[in-house]
Amino acid sequence: MLNKEAGWYLARFPVRDEETGETTWPEKWPDERIERETFELGPLESARSLFCKPRAEGENPFDQEAIENAFVAGNELELVRSLSVYTLPHGAAIVHGVDLAVTKTKASHLTVIYTLMLWPEDWSRQLLWIESGRWSSREIRDRILDHTRRYEGSYFVVENNAAQRWIFDIIENQADLELKDRVMPELVPFTTGMNKAHPQFGVEGVAVEIANGKWLFPTTGPGEVVKDVDQFRGEMEFYSRGAHTGDRLMAMWLAREGARRGRMAGRAESEPEDEKSLVPPAFNATQSVGARIIS
């Protein structure tokens, strides 16, 4: 690319600030005009022309029509902030995927907690909630503990590469909390490697599941969460082989691996070729939260 050559640089001027979401030119591009143009152009062309997000056709395995169908299928559902074992559908499982950012700087990636529910009848996956931010290690811990309280019986699949292993120590250290506020989530360490690129079980395997109608994406809920859902959709639509996987999409894949393989998701970095694409998780909806890390 020319921006990597001496004398050249890359400049992008989207109509909204990528950090704040505010219009960058309110006199010419007020919110009303941006919303109208986005609706008229559609999600892909508006992303290109208004938000400066190029997309090369043929490099993305996520089918745009399939993504739209998954969102249409979720129209009658709402984003769900909490579920107890008494309101959780019988036999369903709740899994959180946690994609950790290494630093908290403005230019760093986001830490994302992606929560899904696996339906036992047909193994469809329903998005329940997304949270993202540039949080400190203490903030990440507190959000994981909060999710543990909100979704009873759930468990977390947490990326366990070298730079992220600190999270397991800090979650166990709750000396600063009152006894009534302490809770030990169930954590499944997951090391990403070649499995991320596996055609059936990797990130691109999610595209196949979406095309097969196995995902439901609601968009009704609090504004901040809906914004994360919109960003998540963009990460699917503009996914490109070999490029950085969006933080929300990465967290979704981790949650999907937790749903697919259950609490044994972190046991191996690769899959045998004859493994089925859906493995019932070793999970009972009435099981209490375990104070343990599974390795």
pLDDT for 102 equals 64
Q: What is the pLDDT along the chain (295 residues), one digit of tens a residue?
A: 555 677 787 788 888 887 777 889 999 999 889 888 876 766 666 777 888 877 665 567 898 899 999 999 999 999 999 999 899 999 999 999 999 986 655 555 899 999 999 998 888 999 999 999 999 999 999 999 999 999 999 999 997 776 567 888 888 889 999 999 999 999 988 877 656 555 456 888 899 899 999 999 999 999 999 999 999 999 999 888 777 889 999 999 999 998 887 755 545 444 443 334 343 343 333 333 333 444 4
pLDDT for 285 equals 32
Global pTM reads 0.74
Residue 81 and residue 150 in contact, taking contact as beta carbons nearer than 8 Å = yes
**Distance of alpha carbon 175 from the chain centroid:** 30
Residue 285 and residue 90 in contact, taking contact as beta carbons nearer than 8 Å = yes
Domain ranges of the chain: 1-54, 63-264
**Dihedral through CA 134, CA 137, CA 142, CA 144, nearest 10?**
80
**Cα–Cα distance list, 219 to 69, 70, 84, 222, 225 (Å):** 13, 11, 22, 9, 9
pLDDT for 162 equals 63
Backbone phi, psi, residue 155, to 5°: -140, 165
Beta strand pairing call for 125-133 and 111-118: antiparallel
Q: Does 63-264 carry CATH code 3.90.180.10?
A: no
pLDDT for 49 equals 81
